[in-house]
Amino acid sequence: MSNVAIRVEHLSKAYRIAHQTSRSRYHTLRDDVTNALRAPLRRWHAPAAERQQPSELFYALDDVSFDVHEGEVVGIIGRNGAGKSTLLKILSRITEPTRGRAEIYGRVGSLLEVGTGFHPELTGRENIFLSGAVLGMTRAEVQRKFDEIVAFAEVEKFLDTPAKHYSSGMYVRLGFAVAAHLEPEILLVDEVLAVGDINFRRKSLGKMHAVSRSGRTVFFVSHDMSSIRQLCQRVLWLDAGKLKMQGTAEETTLRYEAANLATAQASDGHFARAPQPARDFYIEWVELRDREGKPRAQYRFGEPMEIVFALRGQAPQDGYTVEWVLFNERGNRISFGAANPVRDVYFNRGDNRISCRLESLPLTTGSYHFYLSVRVWGLARWDEWEDQVAFRILLCDPYNSGFDIPAGPGGDFVLAQQWSVIRA
Amino acid sequence: MRDLSHADAKSAAPLRRPRLIIEPTRGWARLNLRELWLYRDLLWLLALRDVQLRYKQTVLGIAWVILQPLVAAGIFAVIFGAFAKLPSDGTPYLLFVFCGLLPWNLFAGAVQRAGNSLVGSANLISKVYFPRLIIPLASVFAVLIDLGVALGVMALLMIVYQVPVTAQILALPFFLALALIAALGISLWLTGLNVYYRDFMYALPFLMQVWLYASPVAYAAALVPEQWRALYNLNPLVACIEGFRWALLGRGAVTFETVALASVSAFGFFISGVLVFRRIERGFADVL
């Protein structure tokens, strides 16, 4: 058995949530200005008042224990708010735990963001040194790896251009390049591979592979199940701040996806959502309906399906759109639809019931789920709902041949096909 | 045999690797100087960034650093020297005030920049670990560049007014260090509290205004009535400003008593500032 690189024991992190009042964490400009005009000194007494307000503890991380061994690549999965980022923040010492402890053996590099420490006014060269120093490298170290970093990022020609003139792709490449050359013994990574174009993603995945092959430990948070399966040997699944399961990447991700879909199977086509007090305009429920207009969560290849959205509240603005992204069982996005800009349909205030008809489902046998959002294209996103609205394709035998095409080996969808022999 | 030695090397590894323990801290944290030293490159680069950004973003650039104290000194010289006819120990009033503005601007600039530095670096603080003290420290050091420019102007003024340089100038670094320590102490108090109560920054200009007149920038310290002198000298800037005048212009009287009192209060601000900062820095990432 190899050595322990990270040992986490009963780690908890609690946040105190003050019940929403005017004096919350967020200060509005108006509040500040009026207070400043009234009496700057009065505000100094605020903390006492704040302490008396009703507040409750929210556990972002609740009694989590695990070990990571040297040279392991460990993935962390879980829904938004499950505690993944909090865990990374504690391990990279950005925030302190409320209880418990963690022991880390080796130099830690954390990569919670691409381009940490970058400033748009500074040139690429200046930013490399600054970002390197922020991530914990000495100037001599950056100097030594400078050419390598520049080559990896492919920004040779723009080294003396201020970063504000960089394309977003260049910015991301440079940021990742600096971090990738950190050479820590333990690398903590948060979702950074989700950015950049396809070539860059491949390159950065390759770099992570190389890092793990060189015997270093990688701790990797992601929503993308396929990169988790590609990279990680072991996966920790966090749910509501607790460690729900740990095991091999394959087993844990499959169980995770199955759990996400479980709600879907039970609901039988009607998906009700918890109230969203923080949102003015949101999806209240969604129904997947069959040809007869009855809610249903199980379909066959080729059947039509209607997605009905019930929206609650008042849209802040006219001309909005509703969109969906379809994911397969393995968490890969396979299709996209939107009232606009895909179709030229715009919704206005007061339109609170929306329908999207799908002519026929060309999908293979398996489970699928939607990511849904309500937004003004390119401007605002008012609501998002993921992982919950799901359905199954029970049978995919488009030509009644008796062969059921399964998701996975059979791909995600079936192209119409005519076969024949060409006789010379 | 080979295998055995290999196993030994492996089991010994954790001893050689750095071991980091993450636990909730309780009570007052120590100042970790070793860690600050490890991050010295970051301190230097952040200070450099502050300076670079200032000169990249302003049209007037260096000219601004020269004009601002000159104009301020001119105004004080006209009002207090020409109109009110306050005594200036026989020095031309403009020179007298400009010399007083050197440590004052260092102090005020440092406090102002450091006070906002943490909130301005929220993005950094919530994404990566480094000793948080680096941020206010870096912004204080950036102000030293301004002082360098202002000292150049002072040298020119001294040539114009034909003030001879004496051996007393050797005391300048001491008074400079005293002003820096006081500025750092006050900055650390303000910068930490400003994270939790953003309104501290609204009170700051007011505080600085009061402090300016509580320091002998525009007038000579000798004007302060004797019975108030002990209280007045608790302001570390009194000794700094009088010290600058004594070192550069050879005027004014700096007693041992004044300097000792100023040192005690400057270090008092500094040590308590570091303690308070270390105490509340744990929560920065959660609040910012």
Distance CA A396, CA A362 (A): 8
In contact, A82 and A241? CB cutoff 8 Å: yes
Sign of CA dihedral A296, A300, A305, A307: positive
Predicted confidence at residue B141, as pLDDT, reads 82
Distance CA A201, CA A220 (A): 15
Distance CA B23, CA B9 (A): 29
Residues of chain B positioned with their CB less than 8 A from the CB of A94: 125-129, 285
Predicted confidence at residue B168, as pLDDT, reads 87
- Average pLDDT in chain B: 82
Contact B126 A90 (CB under 8 A): no
CATH code for residues A268-395: 2.70.50.60
Instruction: Confirm or reject contact between B57 and chain A (CB < 8 A).
Output: yes
Q: Which residue of B has its CA nearest to A188?
A: B128
Indicate the residue of A98, A102, A130 with minimum beta-carbon distance to B49: A130
* Strands A108-111 and A186-190, bridge-based pairing: parallel
* C-alpha distances in Å from residue B156, one per residue of B160, B163, B165: 6, 10, 12
For an interface test with B, give the residue of A29, A38, A105 to mutate (most B CBs within 10 A).
A105
Q: Give the closest-approach CA distance of B54 to chain A in angstroms.
A: 10
Tell me the per-residue pLDDT of B240-255, one tens digit each, with 9 for 90 and over: 999 998 988 887 777 8
In the predicted model, is pLDDT for residue A357 greater than 90? yes
Report the b/e string of A13-46 with b at 16+ CB within 10 A.
bbeeeeeeeeeeeeeeeebeeebbeeebeebeee
Distance CA B199, CA A41 (A): 9
Name the least confident of A29-33, A207-211, A345-349.
A29-33
Interior CA angle at B44 toward B39 and B50, to 5°? 125
Contacts of B56 (CB under 8 A, 6+ apart): A121
What range defines the domain where residue B256 resides? 31-287
Contact A113 B46 (CB under 8 A): no
- Cα A373 versus chain centre, distance: 15
When comparing pLDDT for A223 and A12, which is higher?
A12
Contact B45 A129 (CB under 8 A): yes
For an interface test with A, give the residue of B36, B49, B195 to mutate (most A CBs within 10 A).
B49
Predicted confidence at residue A233, as pLDDT, reads 87
Indicate the residue of A94, A134, A139 with minimum beta-carbon distance to B126: A94
Q: Give the closest-approach CA distance of B221 to chain A in angstroms.
A: 29
- Cα B52 versus chain centre, distance: 19
Tell me the per-residue pLDDT of B116-126, one tens digit each, with 9 for 90 and over: 888 778 878 88
Q: Is A199 left (phi over 0), alpha (psi -120 to 50) or beta?
A: alpha
In the predicted model, is pLDDT for residue B217 greater than 60? yes
H-only helix segments in B83-171: 93-120, 122-125, 134-160
Q: How many CB atoms lie within 10 A of CB A112?
A: 21
Distance CA B141, CA B117 (A): 12
Size of interface A-B (CB pairs under 8 A): 125
In contact, A333 and A375? CB cutoff 8 Å: no
In the predicted model, is pLDDT for residue A224 greater than 50? yes
* Helix (H), strand (E) at residue B129: none
Predicted confidence at residue B256, as pLDDT, reads 85
Q: Which of B41, B94, B56, B39 is nearest to B72 (CA)?
A: B94
Retrieve residue A370's tokens. Answer: 């939607």
At residue A197 the predicted structure's pLDDT band, cuts being 50, 70 and 90, is low
Tell me the per-residue pLDDT of B128-169, one tens digit each, with 9 for 90 and over: 888 888 988 888 888 888 888 889 989 998 898 888 888 888
Contact A96 B282 (CB under 8 A): yes
Query: If DSSP states are collapsed to H, E and C, what string results for chain A?
Result: CCCEEEEEEEEEEEEEEECCCCCCCCCCHHHHHHHHHHCCCHHHHHHHHHHHCCEEEEEEEEEEEEEEECCCEEEEECCCCCCHHHHHHHHCCCCCCCEEEEEEECCEEEECCCCCCCCCCCEHHHHHHHHHHHCCCCHHHHHHHHHHHHHHHCCHHHCCCEHHHCCHHHHHHHHHHHHHCCCCCEEEEECHHHCCCHHHHHHHHHHHHHHHHCCCEEEEECCCHHHHHHHCCEEEEEECCEEEEEEEHHHHHHHHHHHHHHHHHHHCCEEECCCCCCCCEEEEEEEEECCCCCECCEEECCCCEEEEEEEEECCCCCCEEEEEEEEECCCCEEEEEECCCCCCCCECCCCCEEEEEECCCCECEEEEEEEEEEEECCCEEEEEECCCCEEEEEECCCCCCCCCCECECCECECCCCCCCCCCC
Length of chain B: 288
Predicted confidence at residue B83, as pLDDT, reads 80
Average of per-residue pLDDT across A250-267: 74
Residues of chain A positioned with their CB less than 8 A from the CB of B56: 121
Contact B128 A108 (CB under 8 A): no
Retrieve residue A291's tokens. Answer: 């040809």
Residue B55 lies in a domain: yes
At residue B127 the predicted structure's pLDDT band, cuts being 50, 70 and 90, is confident
In the predicted model, is pLDDT for residue B2 greater than 70? no
Tell me the per-residue pLDDT of A410-420, one tens digit each, with 9 for 90 and over: 899 999 999 99
Contact A89 B128 (CB under 8 A): no
Contact B199 A89 (CB under 8 A): no
Retrieve residue A212's tokens. Answer: 């793990």
Name the least confident of A118-122, A359-363, B256-260, B281-285.
B281-285
In the predicted model, is pLDDT for residue B233 greater than 50? yes
For an interface test with B, give the residue of A44, A94, A108 to mutate (most B CBs within 10 A).
A94
Domain residue spans of chain A = 60-258, 268-395
Report the b/e string of B15-32 with b at 16+ CB within 10 A.
eebeebebeeeeeeeeee
Residue B191 has φ and ψ, to the nearest 5°, of -65, -40
At residue B90 the predicted structure's pLDDT band, cuts being 50, 70 and 90, is confident
Q: Which of B169, B179, B189, B155 is nearest to B240 (CA)?
A: B179
* C-alpha distances in Å from residue A245, one per residue of A223, A240, B171: 16, 12, 67
Indicate the residue of A2, A36, A122 with minimum beta-carbon distance to B49: A122
Q: Give the closest-approach CA distance of A8 to chain B in angstroms.
A: 9
Residues of chain A positioned with their CB less than 8 A from the CB of B42: 133-134
In contact, A220 and A74? CB cutoff 8 Å: yes
Residue A238 has φ and ψ, to the nearest 5°, of -100, 140
Strand order in the sheet with A73-77: A108-111, A186-190, A217-221, A73-77, A234-239, A242-248
Percent over 90 (pLDDT), chain B = 13
Secondary structure letter of residue B218 according to DSSP: S
What residue has token string 């206010």?
B136
At residue A21 the predicted structure's pLDDT band, cuts being 50, 70 and 90, is very low
Q: Which of B183, B167, B185, B285 is nearest to A13 (CA)?
A: B285
Distance CA A362, CA A359 (A): 9
Q: Give the closest-approach CA distance of A127 to chain B in angstroms.
A: 9
Q: Which residue of B has its CA nearest to A4?
A: B14
Instruction: Confirm or reject contact between B8 and chain A (CB < 8 A).
Output: no
Contact B129 A92 (CB under 8 A): yes
Predicted confidence at residue B54, as pLDDT, reads 74
Q: Which of B120, B45, B191, B42 is nearest to A126 (CA)?
A: B45
Q: Is B80 helix (H, G, I), strand (E, B) or coil?
A: helix
Residues of chain B positioned with their CB less than 8 A from the CB of A43: 197, 199
Indicate the residue of B18, B46, B130 with minimum beta-carbon distance to A107: B18
- Average pLDDT in chain A: 82
Tell me the per-residue pLDDT of A228-246, one tens digit each, with 9 for 90 and over: 888 888 999 998 889 999 9
ipTM, two decimals? 0.76
Indicate the residue of B22, B49, B285 with minimum beta-carbon distance to A101: B22
Retrieve residue B165's tokens. Answer: 């340089």
In the predicted model, is pLDDT for residue B11 greater than 70? no
In the predicted model, is pLDDT for residue B17 greater than 50? yes
Residues of chain A positioned with their CB less than 8 A from the CB of B286: 15, 95
At residue B222 the predicted structure's pLDDT band, cuts being 50, 70 and 90, is confident
Residues of chain B positioned with their CB less than 8 A from the CB of A107: 18
Q: Which residue of A has its CA nearest to B128?
A: A94
Predicted confidence at residue B16, as pLDDT, reads 56
Average of per-residue pLDDT across B44-73: 77
Contact A116 B127 (CB under 8 A): yes
Class of A60-258 in CATH: alpha beta
Tell me the per-residue pLDDT of A67-104, one tens digit each, with 9 for 90 and over: 999 888 999 998 766 888 889 989 988 888 999 999 99
Contact A96 B202 (CB under 8 A): no
* Strands A298-300 and A390-395, bridge-based pairing: parallel
Q: Which residue of A has its CA nearest to B38?
A: A138
Contact A40 B17 (CB under 8 A): no
At residue A50 the predicted structure's pLDDT band, cuts being 50, 70 and 90, is very low
In the predicted model, is pLDDT for residue A223 greater than 80? no
Q: Give the closest-approach CA distance of A119 to chain B in angstroms.
A: 9
Contact B10 A3 (CB under 8 A): yes
Residue B222 lies in a domain: yes
Instruction: Confirm or reject contact between B15 and chain A (CB < 8 A).
Output: no
At residue A370 the predicted structure's pLDDT band, cuts being 50, 70 and 90, is very high
Contact A135 B53 (CB under 8 A): no
Q: Is B30 helix (H, G, I), strand (E, B) or coil?
A: coil
Predicted confidence at residue B4, as pLDDT, reads 34
Retrieve residue B236's tokens. Answer: 């570390």
Q: Which residue of A has its CA nearest to B36?
A: A136
Predicted confidence at residue A74, as pLDDT, reads 92
Tell me the per-residue pLDDT of A324-340, one tens digit each, with 9 for 90 and over: 999 988 788 899 999 98
In the predicted model, is pLDDT for residue A264 greater than 50? yes
Predicted confidence at residue A17, as pLDDT, reads 64
In the predicted model, is pLDDT for residue B211 greater than 60? yes
Predicted confidence at residue A263, as pLDDT, reads 56
Tell me the per-residue pLDDT of B45-58, one tens digit each, with 9 for 90 and over: 888 888 877 776 66
Contact B23 A92 (CB under 8 A): no
Distance CA B123, CA A117 (A): 8
Based on the structure, what is the number of domains in chain B?
Answer: 1
At residue B85 the predicted structure's pLDDT band, cuts being 50, 70 and 90, is confident
Percent over 70 (pLDDT), chain A = 86
At residue B9 the predicted structure's pLDDT band, cuts being 50, 70 and 90, is very low
Tell me the per-residue pLDDT of B177-189, one tens digit each, with 9 for 90 and over: 999 999 999 888 8
What residue has token string 């030229």?
A344
In contact, B218 and B97? CB cutoff 8 Å: yes
Strand order in the sheet with A353-358: A270-272, A281-289, A305-313, A353-358
Predicted confidence at residue B251, as pLDDT, reads 75
Q: Which of B64, B45, B44 is nearest to B56 (CA)?
A: B64
First-to-last CA distance in chain A? 65
